[in-house]
């Protein structure tokens, strides 16, 4: 059994894999991590190896508890990965994007893959059929766009994302929903079209926190997988286990 830990700024995702299959998953608050982690581990005594992807704030005690629980790999920019990294500034590449590309090459061998991660930011990551990663794009995510309109204007309200009823918003709230949501949908569809013109047989993966909200409004032909990052971390752990 493999233990996968993805630590964000506020929450930590814990997952247990048997080979390539998730058998358990839990999301806990980072500030209460230690107690919740111990409870989680007690229900999985057969865990042997683990991987920690930390972009948040785990304490030394937290990390020590993880190391005591299993043989853990601390993911960083020097960790061997199952793809060829042609990114111009590899040391600045987000660990989450490394995990997503690893999932792409592990699950879609000999395929051109575009991974779209719809979270705080929307990231676009392309990996070729030769497992060569070149980069992609980064833009503001759904909630970030709503917050920006509220933070940088005097009168626009902060709204919770809603699916617009029409492209023409007949109120301020409706206009914000139209601008933000259709703006993102058109951006994603536009990026997909550009990649499809350049690369044949393109496989498209949508993942991240806003996957469910966006996937039903996007064009067909996109594979939605909210666990893609966790699966990528597991593939990196397996890759290093066989090294």
In the annotated binding site, the residues are 6-13, 87, 94-97, 117, 120, 172
Q: Which residue in the list 46, 71, 96, 201 is annotated as catalytic?
A: 96
- CA atoms of 169 and 156, how far apart (whole Å): 14
- CA atoms of 23 and 75, how far apart (whole Å): 22
Is 96 tagged catalytic?
Answer: yes
CA-wise closest residue to 205 among 228, 183, 188, 234: 228
Contacts of 2 (CB under 8 A, 6+ apart): 16, 17, 18, 47, 48, 49, 50, 51, 234, 237, 238
Rg of the chain taking only CA atoms, in angstroms: 19
CA-wise closest residue to 139 among 173, 85, 180: 180
CA-wise closest residue to 103 among 131, 78, 77, 122: 131
Residues 83, 76 contacting (CB under 8 angstroms): no
**Residues annotated catalytic, as ranges:** 96
């Amino acid at each position: 059994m493999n233990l996968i830990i993805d630590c964000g700024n506020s929450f930590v995702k814990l997952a247990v894999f048997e080979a390539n299959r998730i058998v358990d998953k839990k999301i806990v608050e980072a500030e209460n991590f230690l107690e919740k982690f111990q409870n989680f581990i007690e229900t999985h005594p057969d865990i042997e190896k683990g991987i920690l992807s930390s972009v948040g704030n785990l304490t030394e005690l937290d990390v020590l508890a993880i190391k005591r629980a299993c043989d853990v790999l601390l993911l960083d920019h020097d960790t061997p990965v199952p793809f060829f990294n042609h990114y111009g500034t590899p040391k600045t590449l987000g660990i989450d994007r490394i995990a997503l590309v690893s999932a792409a090459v592990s699950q879609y061998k000999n395929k051109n893959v575009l991974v779209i991660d719809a979270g705080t930011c929307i990231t676009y990551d392309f990996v070729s059929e030769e497992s060569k990663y070149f980069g992609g794009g980064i833009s503001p995510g759904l909630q970030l766009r709503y917050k920006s309109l509220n933070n940088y204007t005097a009168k626009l309200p902060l709204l919770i994302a809603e699916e617009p009823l029409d492209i023409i918003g007949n109120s301020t709230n409706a206009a914000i929903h139209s601008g933000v949501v259709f703006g993102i949908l058109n951006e994603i569809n536009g990026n997909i079209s550009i990649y499809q013109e350049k690369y044949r047989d393109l496989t498209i993966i949508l993942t991240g926190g806003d996957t469910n909200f966006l996937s039903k409004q996007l064009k067909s032909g996109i594979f939605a997988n909210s666990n893609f990052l966790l699966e990528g971390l597991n593939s990196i752990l397996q890759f290093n286990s066989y090294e």
